[in-house]
Chains A and B, each alone.
Chain A
Amino acid sequence: MSEAIDAMNNEIGDIGTDYKYGFHDKEEFVFKSQRGLSREVIENLSRMKKEPQWMLEFRLKAYEIYMEKPMPTWANTELLNEIQFDNIYYYLRPQDSEKKNWEDVPEGIRKTFDRLGIPEAERKFLAGVTAQYESEVVYHSIREDLEKLGVKFFSMDQGLQEYPEIVKKYFGTVIPPNDNKFAALNSAVWSGGSFVYVPKGVHVAIPLQAYFRINAENMGQFERTLIIADEGSSVHYIEGCTAPTYSSDSLHSAVVELIALPGAKLRYTTIQNWSKNVFNLVTKRAQAYRDATVEWVDGNLGSKLTMKYPAIYLMEPGAHGEVLSIAFSGKDQHQDAGSKIIHAAPNTTSVITSKSISKDNGRTTYRGLVKVYPNAEGCKSSVKCDALLLNEGSRSDTYPTMEIDCENVQIGHEATVSKVGDEQLFYLRSRGLSEDAAAMMIVNGFIEPFTKELPLEYAVELNRLIQLEMEGSVG
């Protein structure tokens, strides 16, 4: 586990009967690359995006690294090796340019986002929205008052066009292309994602949201997100994602880089709900400087195989990092998730809370690292992993790694694995709850530390999704 990561999955997916986002539209595009990845695909993509020369060079260098790096030899290699890289479409441009009004988005795509509830959520409780369809952001907006305060929230592509100097300064600094094979792949062929810059002292009180939708079969989506919270600022960014259910696989491989400058507070919330034919191999990493706080709130429900280990580098004294995650794994799914915290400076603190639920022989893995550098006196870290199994054939594994090279530190770790208890079920049933309702209540209680950190609308949605997944699954 010396690398930071991401993941994928595979296996003949049971087509989720209750996955309500599994619909797909007729493909709409102004350009679609051939299957497979090559220098030409990358050059063509970069030219269409009218990118500066340095970005093209960055991509091509990353492509070389990607070709050289072997596949991971750890985690679920059996599933990983099922990915057919030559069968993937690496770039699909759905419309000519990104829009600021939903009316200008092609009707089919607009209707999809309507069904996903994005425009409605935007009206009700979001400060800004990025909506990505296949490879490109098709719609983007930010509230005027935030724009006036200097908050920059763009698609990554537009951010590169408008603020090349900021992008050049930070892009790829938190996660360099040679970090791992999938970071290299993303660096070579990235498209879409968000660019956020919050100026010094500005507090963005309500969340910004990005929504990622894959529509085409065998699609590869490689969004790239860079968020910079300048000194003393705060921001909460939320991402959601879904895809149609197909019988063959798609690949999602994002890179997300967060930078929290001194005194900033940055929270990044993900609700990953891919269909069960998506390999989800994502690299997420943050740097937190003096007295800054970074929080990853990471929910994984969908996909065939997820490999994702959000990381926080605590760079300067007083920095604080938290990773709060849930993984929900059903039939033919493997959620291999966890987190990495690097205490690179004295008096830094971290908390990792991981909750996993396995049902219908699903599989979850917690894979984590806490590393304390030799000079990092006075650090504190606490790691808690709880797994809940809903049937006999479900499986959960925990691989917590601790590399502590400093003596004067406080590190705590605890892990539990439990089954939904017969006595708990009986207790609730004796009060009139059906067996399903009782199991649901136990599961909801189990993940309550996670849901209570979500904005209300998302907590309600998450509970509803889990309820759908849970129906008839006790046994």
Chain B
Amino acid sequence: MTQPLFKIEDLKVSIEGKQILDGVNLTINAGEIHALMGRNGTGKSTLANTLMGHPKYEITGGKIWLAGQDITELEPEERSIAGLFLAFQYPIAIPGVNVVNFLRAALKAHRGGDMPIKDFRILLKEQMNLLSMQQSFASRYVNDGFSGGEKKRLEILQMAMLNPKMVLLDETDSGLDIDALKVVAEGINRTMTKDRGVLLVTHYQRILDFVKPNFVHVMMNGKIVKSGGPELALELEKQGYDWLGKETKHENQATAN
């Protein structure tokens, strides 16, 4: 069982003919948390959405592997059922559909059948308590009129209920005040297991004070340009991304030479 949990191989992606990702490589083993950092517009969210199978993003090259299975061509729902989860940067509202019915439908799809209602309610109540969510939250419409913090908590609640193997967190820290950030980070840490992998996409160091990554990667112009340990995030915090740009340019030139 040495195969990696999640592997991205030379992934190239276009939107409406414009290339956004230019050969991304990344391997994540079970039990590891990876942070992917970079400025806005460098392709981080494109990567997260492509990995989940958004139909708008066209894969023009490369492969995605989850637990040894090639998921490059799978539909989003097939990826979900295979154990991939994306916590969205901007979770969208589904008016008229309440949180309970939504979660029941998702769990049903994953289990291939209804969970006994009693068990479901116990599980939901427990998970909501852990995320400091009021019970009334369950009967609200999905993301409809939610504050930024409520939306991100609902993402974490879904993650906790679906119990995925591999979690993609897309800017989960954005728009959160410090208290909400702590609750969300705690939710990520609490559900982390030795069997799960996490890819945490962010452009702030802040969340990394609460969710400790094993590895940090920096993305620029649709590629991962630098990888390192947690100290890399601190360095970026101090120095910004500019020095990397120069370094990369040199590297590129070196390669070209």
Contact residues of A between 416 and 434, Cβ < 8 Å to B: 421-424, 426-434
Q: Which residues of B contact A79 (CB under 8 A)?
A: none
A427–B162 touching, CB < 8 Å: no
Name the residue on B nearest A447 (C-beta). Answer: B96
Q: Which residues of B contact A447 (CB under 8 A)?
A: 96
**B128 vs chain A, min Cβ distance (A):** 17
Cα distance, A434 to B52, chains bound together (Å): 14
B109–A431 touching, CB < 8 Å: yes
B77–A434 touching, CB < 8 Å: yes
Cα distance, A343 to B81, chains bound together (Å): 55
B86 close to A (CB within 8 Å) = yes
Q: A426-B76, A430-B80, A433-B77 are in contact. Are A446 and B109 (CB under 8 A)?
A: no
- Which of B30-38, B39-47, B53-61 is the interface stretch? B53-61
Q: Which residues of A contact B105 (CB under 8 A)?
A: 431, 433, 437, 441
B95–A446 touching, CB < 8 Å: yes
B94 close to A (CB within 8 Å) = yes
Residue from B91, B109, B110 within 8 A of A437 (CB atoms): B109
B102 close to A (CB within 8 Å) = yes
Cα distance, A435 to B110, chains bound together (Å): 15
**A20 vs chain B, min Cβ distance (A):** 24
Q: A432-B81, A444-B97, A448-B97 are in contact. Are A427 and B110 (CB under 8 A)?
A: no
Contact residues of B between 73 and 95, Cβ < 8 Å to A: 75-77, 79-81, 85-86, 88, 91-92, 94-95
B80–A427 touching, CB < 8 Å: no
Q: Which residues of B contact A423 (CB under 8 A)?
A: 92
**A475 vs chain B, min Cβ distance (A):** 12
B77–A445 touching, CB < 8 Å: no
Cα distance, A423 to B110, chains bound together (Å): 21
Q: Which residues of B contact A431 (CB under 8 A)?
A: 77, 80, 102, 105-106, 109, 158, 162
Query: In the complex, how many residue pairs between chain A and chain B have their CB atoms under 8 Å apart?
Result: 77
Which residue, B55, B81, B95, B110, has most C-beta atoms of chain A within 10 A? Answer: B95
A449 close to B (CB within 8 Å) = yes
**B104 vs chain A, min Cβ distance (A):** 11
A430–B97 touching, CB < 8 Å: no
Cα distance, A432 to B55, chains bound together (Å): 15
**A387 vs chain B, min Cβ distance (A):** 14
Name the residue on B nearest A449 (C-beta). Answer: B96
Contact residues of B between 135 and 191, Cβ < 8 Å to A: 141, 158, 162
Residue from A422, A430, A444 within 8 A of B86 (CB atoms): A430
Cα distance, A424 to B88, chains bound together (Å): 12
Name the residue on B nearest A438 (C-beta). Answer: B77
Q: Which residues of A contact B97 (CB under 8 A)?
A: 441-442, 444-445, 448
**A407 vs chain B, min Cβ distance (A):** 33
Cα distance, A447 to B95, chains bound together (Å): 9
Residue from A421, A434, A441 within 8 A of B102 (CB atoms): A441
Q: Which residues of B contact A435 (CB under 8 A)?
A: 75, 77
Contact residues of B between 177 and 216, Cβ < 8 Å to A: none
**A384 vs chain B, min Cβ distance (A):** 13
A445–B75 touching, CB < 8 Å: no
**B203 vs chain A, min Cβ distance (A):** 22
B56–A427 touching, CB < 8 Å: no
Q: A430-B86, A431-B106, A441-B105 are in contact. Are A424 and B94 (CB under 8 A)?
A: yes
A448–B96 touching, CB < 8 Å: yes
Q: 1/0 per position for B107-140, CB-CB distance to A under 8 A?
A: 0011000000000000000000000000000000
Cα distance, A21 to B85, chains bound together (Å): 42
Residue from B88, B92, B96, B106 within 8 A of A433 (CB atoms): B106
Which residue, A423, A429, A430, has most C-beta atoms of chain B within 10 A? Answer: A430
A432–B77 touching, CB < 8 Å: yes
A429–B94 touching, CB < 8 Å: no
B91–A427 touching, CB < 8 Å: yes
Q: Which residues of A contact B101 (CB under 8 A)?
A: 441
Name the residue on A nearest B56 (C-beta). Answer: A422
Q: Which residues of B contact A424 (CB under 8 A)?
A: 92, 94
Q: Which residues of A contact B53 (CB under 8 A)?
A: 429-430
B106–A432 touching, CB < 8 Å: yes
Name the residue on B nearest A431 (C-beta). Answer: B106
Residue from A434, A437, A441, A449 within 8 A of B94 (CB atoms): A441
B80–A445 touching, CB < 8 Å: no
Q: Which residues of A contact B52 (CB under 8 A)?
A: 426, 430
Q: A422-B56, A441-B105 are in contact. Are A429 and B96 (CB under 8 A)?
A: no
Q: Which residues of A contact B106 (CB under 8 A)?
A: 431-433
Q: Which residues of A contact B110 (CB under 8 A)?
A: 432
Cα distance, A101 to B145, chains bound together (Å): 53
**A203 vs chain B, min Cβ distance (A):** 29
Cα distance, A421 to B158, chains bound together (Å): 21
Q: A432-B80, A434-B109, A447-B96 are in contact. Are A426 and B158 (CB under 8 A)?
A: no
**A295 vs chain B, min Cβ distance (A):** 20
Q: Which residues of B contact A437 (CB under 8 A)?
A: 105, 109
The 10 tightest CB contacts between A and B, nearest first, are A445-B96, A448-B96, A432-B109, A445-B97, A429-B76, A431-B106, A432-B80, A429-B77, A430-B76, A427-B92
Q: A-side interface residues toward B, CB under 8 Å? A: 421-424, 426-435, 437-438, 441-442, 444-449
- Could you list 16 A-B pairs, sorted by A, with CB under 8 Å? A424-B92, A426-B76, A427-B94, A428-B102, A429-B53, A429-B75, A429-B80, A430-B76, A430-B85, A430-B86, A431-B77, A432-B77, A432-B80, A432-B81, A444-B96, A444-B97
Known: A448-B97, A449-B96. 17 other contacts (CB 8 A): A422-B55, A426-B76, A428-B102, A430-B52, A430-B85, A431-B105, A431-B106, A432-B162, A433-B77, A433-B109, A441-B101, A442-B94, A442-B97, A444-B97, A445-B95, A446-B95, A448-B96
Q: B-side interface residues toward A, CB under 8 Å? A: 52-56, 75-77, 79-81, 85-86, 88, 91-92, 94-97, 101-102, 105-106, 109-110, 141, 158, 162
